[in-house]
Amino acid sequence: MDPSQVQIPPMKDLTVDNITENVITINSLCEDERMKYVLERLVTHLHDFARETRLSSTEWMTGLQFLTEVGQICTPVRQEFILLSDILGLSILVDSIDHPKPPGSTEGTVLGPFHTHDAEELPNGDAISHDPKGEPLLVVCTLRDTEGRPIEGAKIDIWETDSTGHYDVQYAGRETPDGRCVMRSDAEGIFWFKAITPVPYPIPHDGPVGKLLKKLHRHPYRPSHMHFMFEKEGYDHLITALYLRNDPYETSDAVFGVKDSLVVDLAKVSPEMAAKYNVPEGQALLTYDFVLVSDEETRELRATNSKIALDKLGRKVKIVNGLPVPDLD
Ligand SMILES: [Fe+2]
């Protein structure tokens, strides 16, 4: 791009009150409508934040140093920025906006920083955890669409901690994945496996996010849960988790992931189930019926929700590529 050929709107006499409109004007040459809109709103909110809090230079620098530390501690297996987004409630907010769920479908929750792409694909019935100290748990689930029809062959990622509350990737010298797998639903939409009963655990809190939590007088714990991620062509990607009822952290999850519809009660394996699944009678049992939403239904719901939300703010928008941009026509 030749700078001499770009018609930049002139800026003069910048003040606390007019800096925002000037920055928006100079960004308005952006040809990507959605990016232009996101930047316009980001600059507006950032500037309003500074004006409203009367942000001091010292505080501004403290914030920049904090973000620098967050970046510096990141590695391929430690994502401190996701953690920061999680503890500020942004991750769950974005998921809820981008993956709206009609009544009767399974709600989503935070991905968290511990999903990996190297989990082994296991057949139904296999064990995903090899921790001898974990309390054995039989997990039997179904996967259906919103009409109640079974979904066959969905790719299902499942991951959980060991009995000490650590994911495999948190151990130095990890050689093979454990406490995680990829599974496929069968012709009846069923998938089942042997696992261990989830336990609560703290998110990594030895870095800048941990320091922030401490300053805020917040604990770093997540209630006991097991993660699930579903992928099937034609359906909206679902990232979710199941939480055990009456966990001490059920109502104070450090990353705001708990939703009522995802809280489950464990049962005991009956004599019939013990025979059918070849596990001891009386063992802990988790059952759940997951419901996926089609891509089409999700797209429509997302567009409708966008229009309603922006209408409330008095903004006229149109939907382009599934996302709102200002409607200037
Ligand atoms: Fe987790």
Give me ligand 1 centre to Cα 114, in Å.
7
In a shared domain, residues 98 and 204:
yes
Residue 48: helix, strand or coil by DSSP? Answer: helix
Give me ligand 1 centre to Cα 226, in Å.
7
Give me ligand 1 centre to Cα 238, in Å.
15
Question: 31-41: b or e for each residue (b if 16 or more CB lie within 10 Å)?
Answer: eebeebbebbe
- Whichever domain contains 118, its CATH number is 2.60.130.10
Give me ligand 1 centre to Cα 269, in Å.
25
In a shared domain, residues 254 and 195:
yes
In a domain, 142, yes or no: yes
Which residues are CB-contacts of 154 (< 8 A; sequence separation ≥ 6)?
143, 184, 185, 230, 231, 232, 235, 292
Give me ligand 1 centre to Cα 225, in Å.
6
In a shared domain, residues 45 and 170:
no
In a shared domain, residues 195 and 268:
yes
Per-residue model confidence as pLDDT tens for the chain (329 residues): 666 666 777 777 899 999 999 999 889 889 999 999 999 999 999 999 999 999 999 999 999 999 999 999 998 878 899 999 999 999 999 999 999 999 999 999 999 888 989 999 999 999 999 999 999 999 999 999 999 999 999 999 999 999 999 999 888 888 889 999 999 999 999 999 999 999 999 999 999 999 999 999 999 999 999 999 999 999 999 999 999 999 999 999 999 999 999 999 999 999 999 999 999 999 999 999 999 999 999 999 999 999 999 999 998 889 988 899 998 87
Give me ligand 1 centre to Cα 160, in Å.
6
In a shared domain, residues 9 and 105:
no
Give me ligand 1 centre to Cα 4, in Å.
52
* Tokens describing residue 170: 């948190």
Give me ligand 1 centre to Cα 305, in Å.
29
Residue recorded with tokens 């991905």: 111
Dihedral of CA 58/59/64/67: which sign?
positive
Which is nearest to 260 in space by CA: 272, 247, 269, 250?
Answer: 250
In a domain, 215, yes or no: yes
Give me ligand 1 centre to Cα 254, in Å.
11
In a shared domain, residues 130 and 187:
yes
Cα(311)–Cα(322) distance, rounded to whole angstroms?
17
Give me ligand 1 centre to Cα 221, in Å.
10
Give me ligand 1 centre to Cα 44, in Å.
35
Give me ligand 1 centre to Cα 103, in Å.
25
In a domain, 191, yes or no: yes
In a shared domain, residues 136 and 278:
yes
> What pLDDT is recorded for position 180?
96
> What pLDDT is recorded for position 328?
80
Q: How many domains, the chain?
A: 2
Give me ligand 1 centre to Cα 199, in Å.
10
In a domain, 323, yes or no: no
Which residues are CB-contacts of 58 (< 8 A; sequence separation ≥ 6)?
none
> What pLDDT is recorded for position 3?
63
Beta bridge partners of 127: 194
Give me ligand 1 centre to Cα 80, in Å.
14
Which is nearest to 139 in space by CA: 277, 292, 281, 280?
Answer: 277
Give me ligand 1 centre to Cα 63, in Å.
28
In a domain, 61, yes or no: no
Give me ligand 1 centre to Cα 166, in Å.
9
In a domain, 327, yes or no: no
Cα(266)–Cα(244) distance, rounded to whole angstroms?
7
Give me ligand 1 centre to Cα 214, in Å.
20
In a shared domain, residues 135 and 33:
no
> What pLDDT is recorded for position 175?
83
> What pLDDT is recorded for position 97?
95
In a shared domain, residues 94 and 45:
no
Give me ligand 1 centre to Cα 9, in Å.
49
In a shared domain, residues 246 and 286:
yes
pTM: 0.89
Domain span at 125:
85-293
Give me ligand 1 centre to Cα 99, in Å.
20
In a shared domain, residues 26 and 134:
no
In a shared domain, residues 28 and 105:
no
Give me ligand 1 centre to Cα 148, in Å.
29
> What pLDDT is recorded for position 307?
92
Give me ligand 1 centre to Cα 112, in Å.
6
Question: How large is the C-alpha radius of gyration of the chain?
Answer: 24
Cα angle, residue 116 at apex, residues 110 and 121 outer, rounded to 5°: 115
In a domain, 149, yes or no: yes
